[in-house]
Amino acid sequence: MLGTGAALAVVGGGDVSAGELAYVARIAMGSNQRACTGVLVDPRAVLTASTCFAETSALHNGVPMSYTKVTVGTTSSAATTVIVHPQRDLALVRLRTPITAIAPATLSPAAPAAGEELLLAGFGRTATDWNTGKLRSAKFKVDGAPAASFDVVAAGGDPVGLCKGDAGGPALRLSGGTYQLAGLHHTANQAQCLGEAAGDPRGTETRIDDVRGWITGNLTGFDTGFELGDAKPAWTNTRDDSGGVTNVEGICCGLAGPELAVSPERDLAGGERALMYSGYDNSATESYAYLKAFDMASQPVRAGTVLSYWVYPQSNSGSWGLATGGNSACVGIDLIYTDNSSLRDSGAVDTRGISAHPAKHCGNLTLDKWNQVVVPIGKTANGKRIARLAIAYDQPANTGGYRGYVDHISVSDDTFNTGLETGQYGPKWSNTVSDGGGARGGLSNVGGICCSLTGPELFYSNSAAAAHTGTGELVYSGKDNSATGSYAYMKVFGGVDFYITPATRLSYWIFPQSNANSSGLATGTNSTCVGVDLIFKDVVTGAESNLRDTLARDQYGVYAHPAWRCGSTTLDTWNYVSIPLGEIAKGKQIVQFDIGYDQAANTGGYRGFIDDIRISR
C-alpha cells in the first residue's frame, strides 16, 4: 500500500466499460501488498509514477525486489526492470512478455490548457471499498497553468477525487475524437476516500508532453543476457516459417530436430545462462534451420539502431564429439520484419564487413571462443519494425553436427557511437589534461614519451594500418616517472548530454603496444594500464562523479578503473571492452569522456590506440 500523499482510486467516478481505456494497467507488487495504476505506452512498457517504487526495498539496481505483476485488459506480464526519471514522478516499467493485443496510449504533444476538461482513471480505492479491482474514471479540469505538473479539480458538482491505488493513472485529454495521455496522477489530498476525511478533492498530475523524448528514448531497445529478470525466449525448439528447416535433424540422443533453449552450461561473463543451439546437417548441398526465439512486438528500427550479440561456436573437442568441423560457426541472428522481409536478405553487413546472413558466418567465427557480432541494422532497415528474432544455422556445403551458444543480445539505438571516421564524432580536445579536481582525474608523474614532448598525448590519427575499423583512431602515450604513483587522465569528448538507463553500456576497442611494436618506446605491460573513463553528472544536485571510482566491471569481471586494467588486455592486438553502466549510474548524465593511464608500480613508456567507442542502450 502506498503512503498518504504518494498514492492516488477515482472516488465518486463511474466504472469503465470493458474495452474502454483498455491501455490502463494495474500494477501489483508482491502478494498485493502494494498496488498502483499505469498506462501501456509500448507493447513492452508501462508508464507509471516512480513513487510506486519509492520504498527502499522496492528496487535494486532498477530490478523489482518482489514479483511485480502488470495487467492490461485480460493479459498479464511480469516487470523486469524499472527506469526512473531523475526529476519527475515518472517510471517506465519494462515487461518480460510484450502485450500486443491492446494498442498503447497516444502521448499528448502539448500540455493541457488552464480550465481544460480531462478524464482521469484509476484502479484505486473508493469511498467505501479498499480494493474493487475495477477501473473507474471521472471528469476533472485543469486548475491553473501547467508547469512540470498541474493541479486538477472536479469538473462537475459531484465529489470525485483520487485515492490510494490511483498513483500513475492517466489524465487524458480529448483531441480529434481520441484520448491522448497528458499526465499521470502524482499526489492528492484524498478527500472522500475510504478512511479519509471529507473535503474538496484536489490532485496533482505529472506533465507528459515535454518529456516524450525521455519516454520514447527509453522505449526503443531490447537487451537480454538470459539471466533471472531478463527477457526469456517466447519459443523453444520452434521452427520459424520465414526461413524454415531443411535437411537438419537432432544432433544426437533421439532428438527429433534442431534445438534452441536457455542453458546454464556456459555464459559470456558475469552470469549463469546463455541460449544453446544445436542440430545435425544431413545434406552437403542445402541445409538450414531457422528457429524463432523472441517476439519483438513490432519494435521500431531507426537510422542508428544496432543489433549486437555474442556467439560461442563449439568445436568437435569442445562439444563431446558432437560438432563437426567448422559447422558451429555457420550460425547467426536473423530478424524478421513486420513487412515479412528479413535481415539475412537485406544486404546488411556487420562492423567487420561480413554479411549478416548466417551462411556468411561460416569460417568467420572462431571456435570455442566468444565472438561479438555488431550489425548496424538502421542502415538497411530504417523505418521498419521487427516482428521476431530468430537464431539460424545455414550452410549449403558439409554435413555433421553443430552446437554452440548465443548470449547478450541487444537491439538498441546508439546514443554515442564513433569510429573516428569522417562525418563521425571527433575529439573536442587533444593532449589536454582532465583537471579541475573532484571527479576529474588530473595528472601526476607522467611526462612525454620521447622526442622533447612535454607531457602525455591523446590525439586523433588517420592511419589505416593502426585503426580497428576504417582509418581513424585515438593515439595515447606517455612516460611514467614514478614507481609509487602515476596517472594521466586526458579529456577527449565533451558536449555530450544523455541519460543512463538500466540497459546503458559503454564499449570500446583498445590496442596497447608492446616495446617491440612501439619502436622501443613502451615498457613492459604499461600500455595495458589504460581505459576509458566517464564523467557523470547528477541532474538533481549537479554533483559530478566518474566511472573509475565505481564498482563497474567489464564482461570479464575486470574493474573499469584504468589501474585495474593493467595486464587485463593483450599487447599488440585489438581488445574489446564492454562495461554495463546502469547498475552504477542510472539516471545520471554523461558529460565528458576521458582516457586514463593509471599505475602505482613500474616506470617507463606506454603507448597504444583506442577506436570504435560506443554508448548504447
Query: Is 9 domain-assigned?
Result: no
Measured CA to CA, the distance from residue 590 to residue 518 in angstroms comes to 33
Among 414, 437, 457, which residue terminates a domain? 414
Confidence check: pLDDT of 13 > 90: no
Number of domains in the chain: 3
Task: Say if residue 540 is in the same domain as residue 470.
Answer: yes
DSSP 378: H
Is 4 a member of any domain? no
Mean pLDDT of 486-508: 84
State pTM to two decimals: 0.60
CB 497 within 8 A of CB 588: no
Q: What per-residue string of b and e applies to 437-470 under the rule 16 or more CB within 10 Å gives b?
A: eebbbebebbbbbeeeeebbbbeeeeeeebbbbb
What pLDDT does 184 receive?
94
DSSP track, 110-162: SPPPTT-EEEEEESS--SS-S-----EEEEEEEES--SSEEEEEESSSS--B-
Residue 67's CB: how many other CB atoms inside 10 A?
A: 11
What pLDDT does 199 receive? 62
In a domain, 375, yes or no: yes
Q: Which residue has the higher pLDDT, 188 or 251?
A: 251
Helix, coil or strand: residue 562: helix
Q: What whole-number distance in Å separates Cα of residue 615 and Cα of residue 415?
A: 6
Among the listed ranges 143-152, 410-419, 444-453, 552-561, which one has the minimum average pLDDT value?
Answer: 410-419
CATH number at residue 277: 2.60.120.260
Task: Check whether residue 149 and residue 245 sit in a common domain.
Answer: no
Q: What was the pLDDT predicted at 475?
A: 97
Proportion of the chain above pLDDT 90, given as a percent: 52
- CATH assignment at residue 102: 2.40.10.120
Query: Given CA atoms 130, 134, 139, 142 in this order, what sign does their dihedral have?
Result: positive
User: Do 367 and 516 sit in the same domain of this protein?
Assistant: no
Number of DSSP helices (H) and strands (E) in the chain, helices first:
3, 38
CA distance 550 to 553: 9
Quick check: is 1 in a domain? no
Return all residues near 48 (Cβ < 8 A) that are at least 6 apart: 25, 27, 36, 37, 38, 39, 90, 91, 93, 167, 168, 184
Residue 197 and residue 263 share a domain: no
425 shares its domain with 565: yes
In a domain, 456, yes or no: yes
Same domain, 594 and 505: yes
Residue 205 lies in a domain: yes
pLDDT digits (tens, 9 = 90+) for 128-163: 555 556 888 888 899 988 889 999 888 766 555 677
Contacts 24+ apart (CB under 8 A), 217-220: 217/413, 217/499, 218/45, 218/83, 218/92, 218/501, 218/617, 219/41, 219/42, 219/44, 219/45, 219/92, 220/299, 220/300, 220/302, 220/305, 220/412, 220/413
Q: Are 442 and 538 contained in the same domain?
A: yes
Q: Are residues 212 and 252 in the same domain?
A: no
Q: What is the per-residue pLDDT for 1?
A: 23
pLDDT at 155 (0 to 100): 79
454 and 404 within one domain: no
> What confidence score (pLDDT) does residue 12 get?
44
Could you tell me if 213 and 308 lie in one domain? no
Instruction: Tell me which of 586 and 335 has the higher pLDDT.
Output: 335
pLDDT tier for residue 9 given thresholds of 50, 70 and 90? very low
Q: Residue 280's domain spans which residues?
A: 224-414
Domain finish residue from 365, 399, 414: 414
Which of 414, 432, 448 represents a domain boundary (last residue)? 414
Pair 477, 461 in one domain: yes
Q: What angle do CA 285, 290, 291 make, to 5 degrees?
A: 145
Statement to judge: residues 284 and 396 lie in one domain: yes
CA–CA distance, 592 with 589 (Å, rounded to integer): 9
- The pLDDT value recorded for residue 198 is 64
**Of 171-185, 407-421, 560-574, highest mean pLDDT:** 560-574
**Within-domain flag for 6:** no
The pairing of strands 202-207 and 178-188 is antiparallel
Average per-residue pLDDT for the chain: 87
Contact 170, 39 (CB under 8 A): yes
Average confidence (pLDDT) over 520-525:
97
- Looking at per-residue pLDDT, the higher value among 375 and 464 belongs to 375
Identity of the highest mean pLDDT range in 196-200, 367-371, 524-528: 524-528
Domain contains 377: yes
